[in-house]
């Protein structure tokens, strides 16, 4: 129970600090920094923001439930997480964050916020290729390299393998998050 509570608290703290700053505080600052007000102009953008937030939440859930960690590199999952949205694309958490900020740019009809989203996309890409992929390759070895070969970095693609455990595996083995090559 204490481990589960600790995991919940660590994920909540990460969510408040990192996405809270990048997806709430910085956009608010951009919108209001010159005395402006953040007045919604395009309410049809709200589902985009909600989809991004839901995707982020699903990713955090998988990191905690399957990987027993957080999205933070200092408290990363203990195993390769290849379930949920991670079966479709390797970086869905970044896609969720971008959906939130692009949705906010649309909601407030803000070009500076859209430029911020573009900068976020570049920073995310550089972080992924310059640090994260190498670190995951060193940490998880062949398991991550196989996952990287099979699952695209940014553009979601339907998984090539059928869901469910491989022959000889239990459902518990599959839920442990160890990547299994396509069948």
At 114-173, the pLDDT tens digits run: 999 999 999 999 999 999 999 999 999 999 999 999 999 999 999 876 545 544 445 444
Instruction: Show me where the domains of the chain are located.
Output: 2-158+169-175
What is the C-alpha to C-alpha distance for residues 151 and 65, in angstroms, rounded to an integer? 20
- Read out DSSP for 70-102? -SSGGG--SS---SGGGGT-S-HHHHHHHHHHH
pLDDT of 110 over the 50 cut: yes
pLDDT digits (tens, 9 = 90+) for 50-65: 999 999 999 999 998 8
pLDDT at residue 11, rounded to an integer: 84
Of the two residues 122 and 18, the one the predictor is more confident about is 122
Annotation: CATH topology of 2-158+169-175: 1.20.120
pTM metric for this prediction: 0.84
């Amino acid at each position: 129970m204490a481990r589960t509570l600790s995991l919940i608290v660590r994920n909540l703290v990460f969510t408040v600090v990192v996405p809270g700053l990048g997806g709430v505080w910085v956009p608010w600052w951009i919108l209001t920094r010159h005395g402006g007000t953040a007045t919604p102009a395009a309410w049809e953008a709200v589902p985009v923001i909600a989809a991004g937030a839901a995707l982020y939440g699903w990713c955090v859930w998988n990191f905690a439930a399957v990987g027993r960690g957080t999205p933070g590199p200092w408290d990363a999952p203990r195993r390769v997480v290849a379930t949920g949205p991670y079966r479709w694309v390797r970086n869905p958490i970044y896609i969720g964050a971008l959906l939130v900020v692009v949705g906010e740019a649309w909601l407030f009809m803000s070009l500076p916020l859209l430029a911020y989203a573009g900068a976020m996309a570049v920073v995310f890409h550089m972080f992924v290729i310059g640090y994260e992929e190498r670190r995951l390759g060193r940490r998880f070895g062949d398991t991550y390299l196989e996952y990287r070969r099979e699952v695209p970095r940014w553009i979601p693609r339907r998984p090539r393998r059928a869901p469910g455990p491989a022959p000889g595996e239990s459902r518990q083995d599959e839920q442990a998050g160890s990547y299994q090559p396509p069948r």
